[in-house]
Amino acid sequence: MSKVKPQVIDDEEHERVHDRVAAVDVAKDAGVVCTRTPHPSRPGARQSAIWTVKARMGTVRALGRQLKNDGIEMVTLESTSDYWRIWFFVLEACGLAVQLVNASQARSLPGRPKTDKLDAQWLARLTEMGLLRASFVPPRAIRDLRDYTRARARLTQERTRCWQRLEKLLESALVKVSSVVSKLTTVSAQDMIKAMIAGQRDPKVLAALARTGMKTKHDELVEALDGMFDDHHGELAALLLDQIAALDGKISQLNARIEQMVAVIPAAWGINADGTTGPGAGTGPDAAVLPAAARLAEIPGISPDAGPRHHRRDRPGHGAVPDRRAPGVLGRAVPVRPPVRPPHPGREEGPGQPLPARQPRPGRHRRRPHRHLPRRALPPHRPPPRQGQGPGRRGPLHPGHHRAPAQ
């Protein structure tokens, strides 16, 4: 009998048992701290210490120094809204190993009373047994970059809403210019709107402001610009254009700041053809590795400027894989064509000849409607009784019977 050599598997970092742990049940104004350490007088026993700490920089920093002096190996925080941030960042800056866990990882057992002290103690016990899986928290540089990108996304959405409100304002003024131009962000459309704000109302003069390819739609523009745009529409349109210009300036400022942040992250650098790397590497035509932002932009549906977008498949050099996503999410849905039926045996199909009706498969029955209701026997259907005397009646009806014919 051959002996099978056992396979040795090392424990992961989140599966190791810690001797000295701490847990914080996070709330908005304060947090309940629980530490689990070996008992000083009884070997093999454990002891817990529970107290409340205010969620302030000074008190949390003092807590970090105390936990560091006590030799705490791991601190567990439950991700409660954004209240965990002050605890995580300050304790991490104190040199402690901090892990953030989801509430589902530390779910309490049924029948157990739920209080802040018991929750903190339960978190500490799960931490020392290695039963918690930590969530991913990006490093400081990525967190700062993410704040800038999210702020830019919010400002971009607000700018889009301003353009939509401007289009609705023009529609209320009976100006149908958005039906002729592709979008109001074009230079020609902006020149026409600014001219209307300045007091110009002649549709022909406004249509003459069209540029490049828009000049071919002169007659359509004259008809679309013939509306009831007055001074109060002009005042509201001017406010919207000023707000759009202010948002454009803030978005440009964030774009420059994001480029500076990405340039100082070594993981975001590319590699040139000769193997050198740096903040501007990987941008040449013969680059070995593109920068991280450029690599992400190659994914269909992602843009380096505005985040997720619909990937254009009609440009050369782009992926030709169809975008099979739901309409209104990030792209267009691919139309599904009905399957082509095979020709009927023994019959030639012509252009004006309809296909035969589809026959049900043998052995398959039509689904019973209202399948959620139980089956029950229904009474047999009976025809309504006949009025008056007729063949098959047992006998004539007397004149006072309710079924007798009227006299």
Residue 287's pLDDT is 78
| pLDDT per residue as tens digits for the range 39-48 | 888 887 888 8
DSSP letter assigned to residue 112: S
Instruction: Give SS3 for 354.
Output: coil
Domain edges within the chain: 13-128, 143-261
Token match 């931490």: residue? 127
Q: What's the whole-model pTM score?
A: 0.63
Give per-residue pLDDT as tens, 287-323: 788 888 888 888 887 777 755 444 343 443 444 334 4
Average pLDDT over residues 253-272: 87
Tell me the torsion sign for CA atoms 112, 117, 121, 126: positive
Phi, psi of 82 (to 5 degrees): -105, 10
Task: Reply yes or no on domain 13-128 having CATH 3.30.420.10.
Answer: yes
Backbone angles phi, psi at 303, to 5 degrees: -120, 140
| DSSP H helix total and E strand total for the chain | 9, 9
Q: What is the tens place of the pLDDT at every residue in 324-361?
A: 444 443 444 455 555 555 555 555 555 555 555 566 56
- For every residue of 120-150, DSSP letters joined together read HHHHHHHHHTT---PPP---HHHHHHHHHHH
- The pLDDT of residue 335: 54
Positive or negative: CA dihedral 110, 112, 116, 122:
negative
- Is residue 318 within 8 A of residue 311, CB to CB? The reply is yes
**Who wins on pLDDT, 184 or 42?**
184
